[in-house]
Chains A and B, each alone.
Chain A
Amino acid sequence: MSRSLLSITELGAEGVQRILDLADTMAEVNRRPNPKVPALRGKTVCSVFFEDSTRTRLSFETAAKRLSADTMTFAVSQSSLNKGESLRDTIETIAAMGVDAFVIRHKSTGAPWLVDDWTTAAVVNAGDGWHAHPTQGLLDAYTVRTALNRPGGFDGMRVAIVGDIKHSRVARSTTAAFKALGADVTWVAPRTLLPPTVHEHCVDDLDAVLADGVDVLYMLRMQNERMTEALVPNLREYTTRFGLTPARAARLAPQTLVMHPGPINRGVEIAVDLAELPGAVITQQVTNGIAIRMAVLFDCLAANQDPTSDLERPELS
């Protein structure tokens, strides 16, 4: 039996916990000299990316390979899109080749749910529109869990997510993951960069948030084209109000974690040398992404399998 991972909401608090615990096991595998186990041998994982994302795709493919799954990649170039094949036909064609899991990235909200309706294979959402990016939410939560090692876990943890919430699937999924674990999340953004209606705690004064103290400062990527939509006047003003400037960095408590989903817009949302941020865990996020995606693929494809059995044994072939 396989199951899909489409959103943090559908995964639920228990599911988040389960994946994070499984990721501990996977992280241990990754620390071995031969970081490869036969857990998913014979399974085929196909990455279908309708939107460019080399980083996420590499992370998933590395994760699949460390579990000994076979991997295929379907990168949708502009030319094949122009052939006019529908999403459904594309998925059904690949499914007919015998695929156990699809890893889907699509610019349209909901596309992974449609795919999930059309195939019996597991579907992992690797980002849909501005909507959801559940493995990012999970790796962020995992990074905080391993880096802070806070007594009481996430309960009462103060997380500030700063920047373009409106257009960010990362913000939505990471917020959902942190909240599922019990953290308090504050969104920091001008009204123009928030969704039309919000139920989170929202402020537009980053300095006030920092003065109150935060455990996690999560900076989102600010895209250049937002200016042409009159969402912010210009990037200089954005950085002045919402960027992590040297002055703000100096006021951060040393244990405050600084996170970013990458790629960083240097000088915009983070306008300070990362070396000057002792709490920066941006590289760890990337590393943890592998363990989380291994955990997710294992959870989706080997749900009923004892995680200790095949994971103990190194892959020899």
Chain B
Amino acid sequence: MNLSIIGGTIVDQQGERRADLRVVDGRIAEVGLDIGPYDGDRVLDAAGLTVSPGFVDLHTHLREPGREEAETIETGSRAAALGGYTAVVAMPNTDPTQDCVSVVEFVRRQGRAAGLCDVHPSASITVGRAGVQLTPFAELAAAGVKLFTDDGNGVQDPLLMRRAFEYALGLGVTMAQHCEVERLTAGAVMHEGDCCSHLGLPGWPSLAEELMVHRDIELVRLTGAPAHFLHLSTVKSVELVRAAKADGLPITAEVTPHHISLTDELLRSYSAIYKVNPPLRTMTDVEAVRQGLADGTIDAIATDHAPHVAETKEQPLDQAPPGMLGLETALGVAVAHLDMDLIDIVAALSWKPAAIAGLGASHGRPIEVGEPANVTAFDPAEEWDVVPAQLASKSRNTPYVGVPLRGRVRHTVLAGVVTVENGTATR
């Protein structure tokens, strides 16, 4: 069925303009003022809404295979669509690990079956994420994998990481590092600072992140291979990446919605909802990552959507697993907490991550005739509160209960198919 999106304001790489658009056979067929009406078209009312290229999440834990009680590819895809996403990069810390073509293909297939957003599996850098042996980069690249990461853990061994960068050269793939020197974070529960000192909890020093950021910047300088830094969270990490980019190194970086909005003070509630890796840090760090995003040091907002079943998050802080939901709230957090132009926020949610994920040909495209119809329409001014029971994710571990959000997705279109209409998933 053809589709008309009427009454919205387009925000894309070309800027901002009032325009309707029409989608035929999954592609944008017409863009302009007062198009149609066309008999038989499905019409999405976008009056007062911003219409932009669909969002792309570089960092989603879909939990399938292996932890389907927390999330499945279908429920995670639905959460993504409701958050305005048309593509997500599925993190490889599944069980079994996404470290070979068969598991990667399984994830891709499940994503297609769900049909709610494009699910692009990443693969681990090392077999089983054990940090010992490289995965078959070339086979996985041939299967469409672009990002490699042991996320959840950083690759600790500097020699192995050097080999990973070197071996990746020429394959068109990017190493994405979770930066954490684990010798400095043994047993760590929260950011190392005033709050952890008071609570008597083992701290997670900023240094543990920054040492690995520094190491990998130098490995990029040495090898020439590109690197992407996952979920940066500290002042110094941002400074290191800013300097590396000024040196012209092929480096990109992301920040999560929670690291631009929440601080370690929340752990004073003793609630493991606020436990996450890397940990929530101080307001100074929050301001630094916001600044990094504003000046382009950090390229993208990536959710690190990490569903966990309620029982695990009801445990005491040191026993609960780290992670929080992000897909359905990312836009609302970004608009509410960033002092940036809307177009720059959309860039960080859409075309910039699309390019990092190697999806620049199909996602994050300008709203122009001939482009694939991966678009989202949202109300940038709507203020709303999260109701955990209403989330599409199978889990409920959102840290945003009681935190005012601004900006809410109303419609999402994936390759011309409406996945979300008026804030409700269509399937």
Against A, the Cβ 8 Å flags (1 = close, 0 = not) of B183-209 are: 000000100111011111101010000
Interface-located stretch among A22-30, A103-111, A253-261, A302-310: A103-111
For B197, give its contact among A106, A107, A114, A198 (CB under 8 Å): A198
**Quick check: which of B12-20, B23-31, B312-320 contacts chain A, the rest being far away?**
B312-320
Q: Which residue of B lies closest to A173 (CB)?
A: B200
Given contacts A196-B192, A197-B193, A197-B194, whether A110 and B199 have CB atoms under 8 Å apart is yes
Report how far A177 CA is from B316 CA in the complex, Å: 25
Interface centre among A114, A132, A168, A172 (most CB of B within 10 A): A114
Q: Which residue on chain A has the smallest CB distance to residue B200?
A: A130
Complex: chain A residue closest to B201, CB-CB:
A109
With A113-B270, A196-B193 known to touch, is A87 a contact of B315 (CB < 8 Å)? Answer: yes
**Is the C-beta of A131 less than 8 angstroms from some C-beta in chain B?**
yes
Q: Tell me whether B157 is interfacial, beta carbon within 8 Å.
A: no
Given the complex, which residues of B lie within 8 Å of A93, measured CB to CB? Answer: none
How many Å from the CB of A269 to the closest CB on chain B? 19
Query: Please, which residue of chain A has its CB at the minimum distance from the CB of B267?
Result: A110
Q: How far is the CB of B267 from chain A (nearest CB, A)?
A: 8
From 103 to 132 in chain A, residues with beta carbon under 8 angstroms from any chain B beta carbon are 106-111, 113-114, 129-132
Is A86 on the interface with B (CB-CB < 8 A)?
yes
* Bound Cα distance from A199 to B270, whole angstroms: 21
A29 to B203, CA, bound (A): 44
Q: Tell me which residues from 192 to 220 in chain A have a Cβ below 8 Å from any Cβ of chain B.
A: 195-199
A49-65 interface code vs B (CB 8 A; 1 in, 0 out):
00000000000000000
**In the complex the two chains form, is A132's CB within 8 Å of B200's CB?**
yes
Do residues B199 and A109 form an inter-chain contact, with CB atoms below 8 A?
Answer: yes
- Residues of A within 8 Å of B341, CB to CB, are none
Contacts A87-B315, A111-B316: A131 and B205 contacting too (C-beta < 8 A)?
no
- How many whole Å from B170's CB to the nearest CB in chain A? 43
Chain A CB within 8 A of B311 CB:
yes
Q: How far apart sit A148 and B203, CA to CA, in the bound complex (Å)?
A: 38
A198 to B318, CA, bound (A): 22
Name the distance in Å between A84's Cβ and chain B's nearest Cβ.
10
Main DSSP-derived SS at the B contact region: loop
Interface flag for A169 (CB, 8 Å)? yes
**Does A313 lie at the interface of the complex (its beta carbon under 8 Å from any beta carbon of B)?**
no
Give complex CA distance A198, B198 in Å: 9
Give the distance in Å from the alpha carbon of A255 to the alpha carbon of B41 in the complex: 92
Query: Across the two chains, which residue of chain B brings its CB closest to A50?
Result: B316
Q: A114 is contacted by which of B203, B311, B314 (Cβ under 8 Å)?
A: B314
Flag whether A18 is at the interface (Cβ < 8 A). no
Instruction: State which residues 71-120 of A face B: CB under 8 Å.
Output: 86-88, 106-111, 113-114
Q: Which of B189, B198, B315 contacts A86 (CB 8 A)?
A: B315
Interface size on B, residues (CB 8 A): 21
A86–B270 alpha-carbon span in the complex (Å): 17
Q: Which residues of B contact A87 (CB under 8 A)?
A: 314-316
Is there an interface contact between B203 and A169, defined as CB atoms closer than 8 Å? no
The answer on a CB contact under 8 Å between A109 and B192 is no
Known contacts A113-B270, A131-B200, A195-B200; decide if A108 and B316 are in contact (CB<8 Å).
yes
**What's the nearest-Cβ distance from chain B to residue A130, in Å?**
3
Q: Is the CB of B314 within 8 A of A196?
A: no
Chain A contacts for B192, CB-based, 8 A: 196-197
Q: In the assembled complex, which residues on chain A have CB atoms less than 8 Å from the CB atom of B189? A: 109
Contacts of B314 in A (CB 8 A): 86-88, 114
User: In the complex, what distance in Å separates the CA atom of A196 from the CA atom of B270?
Assistant: 19
B385 to chain A, nearest CB (A): 21
Query: Residue-by-residue, is A165-180 near B (CB-CB < 8 Å gives 1, otherwise 0)?
Result: 0011100100000000
B317 contacts which of A108, A167, A172, A195 (Cβ < 8 Å)?
A: A108
Inside 8 A of A197's CB, which chain B residues have their CB?
192-194, 197
A172–B200 CB distance below 8 A: yes
Which B residues touch A114, using CB under 8 A? Answer: 270, 314, 316
A108→B202 CA distance, assembly (Å): 11
Residue from B198, B200, B319 whose CB has the most chain A CB atoms within 10 Å: B200
Q: Please name all residues of chain B whose beta carbon is closer than 8 Å to the beta carbon of A132 when the two chains form the complex.
A: 200
| A88–B312 CA distance with the chains assembled, in angstroms | 11
What are the residues of chain A within 8 A of B203 when measuring CB–CB? 196
Complex interface: chain B residues within 8 A of A195 (CB): 196-198, 200
A307 to chain B, nearest CB (A): 31
Residues of B contacting A169 in the complex (Cβ-Cβ under 8 angstroms):
200
Selected A-B contacts with CB under 8 Å, 15 pairs = A86-B314, A109-B189, A109-B200, A109-B317, A109-B318, A110-B317, A114-B270, A131-B199, A167-B200, A172-B198, A196-B193, A197-B193, A197-B194, A197-B197, A198-B197
By Cβ-Cβ distance, the 8 closest A-B pairs, closest first, are A110-B270, A108-B316, A130-B200, A195-B197, A131-B200, A113-B270, A196-B192, A111-B316
Q: Which residues of B come within 8 Å of A, CB atoms? A: 189, 192-194, 196-201, 203, 205, 269-270, 311, 314-319
Which residues in A have some Cβ–Cβ distance to B below 8 Å?
A: 86-88, 106-111, 113-114, 129-132, 167-169, 172, 195-199
Beyond the given A87-B316, A109-B317, please list 13 additional residue pairs across the A-B interface where CB-CB is below 8 A: A86-B314, A86-B315, A108-B315, A109-B199, A111-B270, A113-B269, A114-B270, A129-B200, A129-B318, A130-B201, A132-B200, A167-B200, A168-B200
